[in-house]
Amino acid sequence: MKQPAICPKFEKAVSLLSQKWTALVIYQLLSGTQRFSEIQSAIGISGKVLSDPLKDLEEKNIVKREVIPETPVIIEYSLTEKGRSIEPVIRDIERWSKQWVQEESTSS
Amino acid sequence: MKQPAICPKFEKAVSLLSQKWTALVIYQLLSGTQRFSEIQSAIGISGKVLSDPLKDLEEKNIVKREVIPETPVIIEYSLTEKGRSIEPVIRDIERWSKQWVQEESTSS
DNA sequence: AAATTAACTTACGTAAAGTAACTAGATAAG
DNA sequence: CTTATCTAGTTACTTTACGTAAGTTAATTT
């Protein structure tokens, strides 16, 4: 029950970005190589919630994972060329959000 | 357990686009005013799956809903100014997908 | 032997997305 | 008058995604 009139490549890209934390992880890595725990505390999510999209992004060759045999072991994540090429998308979202999204008073 | 170091406006924008069909609906409406059933068959989704994001987009003032009292009643959806301002984001995703996403052979 | 640290997993619960069938209100056909 | 048709949804239900908190692994220091 699905005969897409919409370009399947575009659909795939959209479905990537529609994973909850994916865009935020890429955004975070745009400012350079970071460790698991750094990304985690920057975004403010739990281990699993970060490791799921990271695995997916690694598999899609958007993020590179490097093991550094320190003590204890350190893992560094960075964007690949494919990953860095998403930057315009992220920057446009950023620009749009600044112009059109209003901050909500979530004071409780 | 969440102290975001990331701009909340940006987070909101990302969370909008991370709703499954939202980007596709906006993309579709970029080519002009369309009826419910037109969007539906273009994207290839069921009534509910379309009406959920449409309601959300209407509420966020990104999409405008107009009732036309024909027989039977026709509903036309179009982008507001805020909605059209998302175009650069969508176009960048489109561009990126053409360059980096590979078509999958889903032949069964 | 116990504790520490980083990077994950596991087990479990909640929320979002998906499906197919049904409804509403209007008209037209039999 | 009753049944059918059409558009734009809704309902009830199932499946997949997301989230939390606690636990695991491997190396090292106390």
Domains and CATH numbers, chain A: 19-93 (1.10.10.10)
Average pLDDT, chain B: 92
Q: What is the pLDDT of residue A4?
A: 58
Nucleotide nearest to A77 (CA to C1'): C7
Q: What is the pLDDT of residue A10?
A: 96
Nucleotides of D under 7 A from a protein CB: 5-12, 17-23, 26-29
In chain A, the residue whose alpha carbon lies closest to the alpha carbon of B106 is A8
| Window B16-55, strand D contacts by Cβ < 7 Å | 18, 35-38, 46-48, 51, 54-55
Bigger pLDDT: B108 or A69?
A69
Q: Is the CB of B9 under 7 A from strand D?
A: no
The answer, yes or no, to whether residue A3 has pLDDT greater than 60, is no
Going from the C-alpha of A89 to that of each of B45, B54, B87, B96, B107, the distances in angstroms are 25, 23, 11, 8, 31
pLDDT tens track for A15-55? 999 999 999 999 999 999 999 999 999 999 999 999 999 99
Average pLDDT, chain A: 92
Q: What is the pLDDT of residue B48?
A: 96
Whole-angstrom Cα distance, residue B1 to residue A65? 26
> Closest Cα partner for B26 from B14, B9, B43?
B43
Nucleotides of C under 7 A from a protein CB: 4-11, 16-22, 25-28
Q: What is the pLDDT of residue B107?
A: 42
pLDDT along chain B (108 residues), means of 10: 73 96 97 97 95 97 95 95 98 98 65
The answer, yes or no, to whether residue A106 has pLDDT greater than 70, is no
Orientation of helix B22-29 relative to helix B47-59, angle to 10°: 80
Q: What is the pLDDT of residue A108?
A: 36
Q: What is the pLDDT of residue A71?
A: 82
Whether B43 and A17 lie within 8 Å, measured CB to CB: no
Whole-angstrom Cα distance, residue A30 to residue B78? 34
Q: Is the CB of A73 under 7 A from strand D?
A: yes
Whole-angstrom Cα distance, residue A22 to residue A24? 5
Sign, Cα dihedral of B80, A92, A11, A29 = negative
Contacts of B57 (CB under 8 A, 6+ apart): B22, B25, B26, B63, B83
